[in-house]
Amino acid sequence: MIFCAVRTLSLDVGEKRIGIAISDSQASIAQPLKLYQRGSLAQDIDEVKKLVREYDVSRIVCGLPKNLDGSIGKKAEAIVEFARKIEEKTHVPVDLWDERFSTDEAHRIFDMHEYKHKKRKPYIDMMAAQIILQGFLDAHKKG
This prediction has a pTM of 0.84
Tens of pLDDT, residues 30-85: 999 999 999 999 999 999 999 999 999 999 999 998 878 888 889 999 999 999 99
Q: Residue 1 pLDDT > 50, yes or no?
A: no
Answer CATH for 7-139 from 3.20.20.120, 3.30.420.140, 1.10.510.10, 1.10.760.10: 3.30.420.140
Distance CA 65, CA 38 (A): 18
Residue 6 binned pLDDT confidence (cut-offs 50, 70, 90)? confident
**Residues of the chain with pLDDT > 90: what percent?**
61
pLDDT at 3: 46
What's the one-letter identity of residue 3? F
Spatial contact of 20 and 130, defined as CB atoms under 8 Å apart:
no
Average pLDDT, the chain: 86
